Structure formats: structure tokens, C-alpha cells
């Protein structure tokens, strides 16, 4: 609650927080749009595969010529991480391999890391956090994105003495979406391919939001950060509005849909027949909490907090998230307080690649949001040797795979891939 003051004091001292951004896409651009109005924060360098595109992004979000001229633009994230004028590295590429490499370069150079790249965090985040701690720097989730917001709500609930029963987010979901490909994704968003193309929207990225992969990645990241369980059979995506959170997301033996207390789950904004859920949470996040005693449960009623039928379970929620517009919270927190806004602690789950259709030996997988696989959240104990979705890109199949099957590391030609080695290290603890 004192970040703005700390940042203003840094500005008065003439020592603003100096951030370097890797990846000037939508998330990065939203962050850049806020920087000019935050005293005590400056972006000294931006890395993007296309530096001219990054400069154009700065102009689009309203940067003036002087600010652009004072910023260094490069095409190499690892090179940015080693710059003397960068103290916080923001990894926003969305590519898990690049994200891991850039984070390791930043940690080796003694830089704090804000990991926008949830794909990388869900795969090896606890390992990167340990490396950062050993180097004396901070590794953090990105505030504004849903995993960090959920982590904040879980921390609030626990710090107030409540038991956390469930935590997660909302999304638009139907079971048939698992098979959707980039060819037909826009019909589900009410767009034509031409309109999406004109808006610069990436069909594979948006398909990841739809086919369940992004939800799986984010829920695993939350589980890893908050010590919560991933459902044994994967996310169930129960239809649920904000008024029913405490009823639906409680244990089954009490009438809810959870196998047990302390789980992550994504709720759907659509009923299974396609009707919209009343007062849905499509863009928001939630935590379901349980009163630790009768007195606290009575206080729920006395102060008007909606509860389930037992009176012991209640929910708090935030109906929106502003992604990059809120990212400065993380940057300022790690630099000025050396405190992460959520951090991976232990591998509680993984995101397994599942065949969207029957796949043939020799086929090349195309990863998150593509034509071949979707990502399913699984607890680590049940995932076994599952191929993580972050490694299911540009790798060739060694055998036929039936539709709906979970792929394993042995099903693909992965060789001595260093990222695969890091993943194995991460899941080994």
C-alpha cells in the first residue's frame, strides 16, 4: 500500500527504478502506456525480435519522441538482461523456451525478474525462483495477470485467518472447445478472420484461451505458487456465477463440486447447453474461503457476506483484470521492497499435452493453441512422464497417438534438449 510513495521518493532522489522489457506485444504495450505517468519508474531498454515494431508500439501507446529516443532498442533478450542500466527484467515474450533462457540470463546478471510468461513459470517456475534467491534477486509473477491476482487473494485470506477452499478464475468454456483449431477460432469470438487479422490478433494465441490450454497453464501456476491442489482428472470448468461461488466450489460431501478443500479450478461463463451464466466471472478471479470457527461464520452473516447454505463458506472475487496496465505493481515491488507479487514455490502440477485428434508418427507438434494438442492441468503425482505443453512445439512424434491421449516425453524426439532437462529437474524437486 505504499508503492506509489516509495516510487515518488525514488524519483525525488534521482534514482528511478530502471526496467527492461523483453517482448513488446499486447501485454508489454499496455505496461508501456502507463510508464510516463508513474514517477520513479523508467524503461531504459526494450528487446523484441523486431525492434522497429517495438518502437512503433511505443508511438502507438503515446510515448513522445524524446522518450523513445532515450530508450535503447535491441533484438536480443539475453543481451538486455545483462545491461548495466537495467535492474528489473520483464519477460513478456509468451514463448516458454525464450522465457526460461531470458530469466536465467537475468538472474545470472543479478537482475530481478518479473515473469509475465506464465507458460515458462508453470513449467519451471519453482526452479527459477530458487536460482533467483540464491543469486540474491527477486523472481515474481506479473501483477495484473490472473495468477498473481489470485495469489494476492489467497495470501489475503490466509493472513486474515481463513481456510482457502478454492481459488481460480473465470473463462468462456464448453467441452467441445478442446478440439478447436486456429482455423475456426474466430467464430467463437464473433469475429471474421479478416477482422481479426486487421486488428493484429494471433489466432493461435487466442485459440489457447479458448481450448482450455491457457486456463490449465494459469491454474498450475497458481497451484505452484499457493500450495493448492490441481484436480485429479484435470479442470472441470463448472458453470458458475459470482453469486454461487461458495455453493459450487466447496467439497462434494457438503454439496459442492470439489473433491476436497484447497484446490484450483476455472469456472465457465457458459452453461453446458451454451446459455450464458447469470453474473458470470469470465474476466475475473476469485477465492472461496471457509470460516475457521462458529464466531467467524456468524460474522459473515452479521456483515452481509453472501455464504453457502451452511454459513461457513464465502467467496471474494474481482470481476476484472487489467493485465499490462497493472504490471508496474510488480516492477516497483521487486525493486523497492524486494517482494514478489506471487512466486512459484513448489511443483504441484503440470500442463500435459493432449492429442486434439489422431496423430501420426512423424508429425510435427505445433504447441499451445495449435492444431495438434491442447494443454490439460494435472497434479504432478498423476502426470508421470507426460509431455508438458511448453515442450510440445516443433518436436516430431515417434509413434501414432490416438485422439484424447496424453502424450509422454517418450512419444517425441526431444533428444538432449536443455529445457527438457530443466523441466525434469523442476519436477524432481
Secondary structure of 376-408 as H, E, C letters? EEEEHHHHCCECEHHHCEEEEECCCECCCCECE
Write out residues in the chain with pLDDT < 50, as ranges: none
Q: What is the pLDDT of residue 196?
A: 85
Going by the DSSP 8-state scheme, the letter that residue 225 receives in this structure is: H
Q: What is the pLDDT of residue 197?
A: 82
In this structure, are residues 152 and 116 in contact, taking their beta carbons and an 8 Å threshold? no
Nearest partner of 118 among 249, 208, 239, 228, judged by Cα: 208
266 strand-pairing partners: 169
Q: What is the pLDDT of residue 68?
A: 98
Helix (H) or strand (E) holding 17: strand 17-22
Q: Report the CATH number of the 349-428 domain.
A: 3.90.1210.10
Please give the sequence-ordered ranges of beta strands (E in DSSP) within 291-392, or none if there are none.
313-318, 349-355, 364-366, 373-379
Q: What is the pLDDT of residue 281?
A: 97
Q: How would you classify the pairing of strands 349-355 and 373-379? A: antiparallel
Spell out the domain ranges in the chain: 3-145+324-337, 147-173+212-320, 349-428
Q: What is the pLDDT of residue 152?
A: 98
Q: What is the pLDDT of residue 1?
A: 75
Name the CA dihedral angle for 262, 264, 266, 267, rounded to a multiple of 10 degrees. 0
Whole-number Å distance between alpha carbons of 128 and 426:
9
Class of domain 3-145+324-337: alpha beta
Amino acid at each position: 500500500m505504499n508503492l506509489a510513495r516509495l516510487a515518488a521518493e525514488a524519483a525525488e532522489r534521482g534514482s528511478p527504478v530502471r526496467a527492461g522489457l523483453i517482448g513488446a506485444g499486447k501485454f508489454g504495450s499496455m505496461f508501456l502506456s502507463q510508464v510516463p505517468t508513474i514517477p520513479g519508474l523508467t524503461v531504459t531498454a526494450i528487446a523484441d525480435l523486431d525492434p522497429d515494431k517495438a518502437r512503433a508500439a511505443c508511438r502507438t501507446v503515446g510515448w513522445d519522441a524524446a522518450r523513445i529516443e532515450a530508450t535503447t532498442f535491441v533484438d536480443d533478450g539475453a543481451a538486455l538482461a545483462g545491461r548495466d542500466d537495467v535492474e528489473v527484467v520483464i519477460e513478456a515474450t509468451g514463448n516458454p523456451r525464450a522465457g526460461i533462457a531470458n530469466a536465467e540470463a537475468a538472474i545470472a546478471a543479478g537482475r530481478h525478474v518479473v515473469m509475465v510468461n506464465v507458460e515458462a513459470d508453470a513449467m519451471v517456475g519453482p526452479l527459477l525462483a530458487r536460482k533467483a534467491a540464491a543469486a540474491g534477486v527477486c523472481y515474481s509473477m506479473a501483477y495484473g495477470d490472473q495468477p498473481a491476482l489470485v495469489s494476492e487473494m489467497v495470501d489475503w485470506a490466509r493472513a486474515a485467518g481463513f481456510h482457502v477452499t478454492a481459488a481460480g478464475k473465470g473463462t468462456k468454456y464448453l467441452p467441445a472447445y478442446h478440439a478447436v483449431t486456429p482455423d475456426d477460432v474466430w467464430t467463437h469470438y464473433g469475429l471474421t478472420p479478416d477482422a481479426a487479422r486487421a486488428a493484429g490478433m494471433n489466432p493461435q494465441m487466442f485459440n489457447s484461451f479458448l481450448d482450455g490450454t491457457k486456463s490449465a497453464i494459469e491454474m498450475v501456476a497458481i497451484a505452484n505458487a499457493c500450495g493448492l491442489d490441481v484436480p485429479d482428472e484435470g479442470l472441470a470448468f463448472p458453470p458458475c456465477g459470482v453469486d454461487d461461488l461458495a455453493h459450487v466450489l466447496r467439497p462434494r460431501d457438503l454439496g459442492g463440486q470439489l473433491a476436497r478443500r484447497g484446490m484450483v479450478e476455472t469456472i465457465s461463463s457458459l452453461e453446458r447447453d451454451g446459455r450464458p451464466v447469470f453474473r458470470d466471472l469470465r474476466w475475473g478471479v476469485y477465492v472461496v474461503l471457509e470460516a475457521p470457527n462458529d464466531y467467524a461464520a456468524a460474522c459473515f452473516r452479521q456483515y452481509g457476506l453472501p455464504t453457502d447454505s451452511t454459513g461457513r463458506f464465502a467467496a471474494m472475487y474481482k470481476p476484472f483484470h487489467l493485465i499490462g496496465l497493472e504490471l508496474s505493481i510488480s516492477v516497483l515491488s521487486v525493486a523497492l521492497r524486494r517482494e514478489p507479487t506471487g512466486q512459484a514455490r513448489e511443483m504441484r502440477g503440470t500442463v500435459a499435452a493432449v492429442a486434439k485428434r489422431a496423430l501420426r508418427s512423424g508429425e510435427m507438434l505445433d504447441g499451445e493453441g495449435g492444431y495438434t494438442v491442447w494443454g490439460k492441468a494435472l497434479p504432478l503425482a498423476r502426470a508421470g512422464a507426460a509431455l508438458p505443453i511448453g515442450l510440445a512445439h516443433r518436436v516430431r512424434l515417434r509413434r501414432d497417438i490416438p485422439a484424447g491421449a496424453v502424450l509422454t516425453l517418450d512419444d517425441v524426439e526431444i533428444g538432449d534438449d536443455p529445457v527438457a532437462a530443466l523441466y525434469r529437474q523442476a519436477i524432481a524437486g
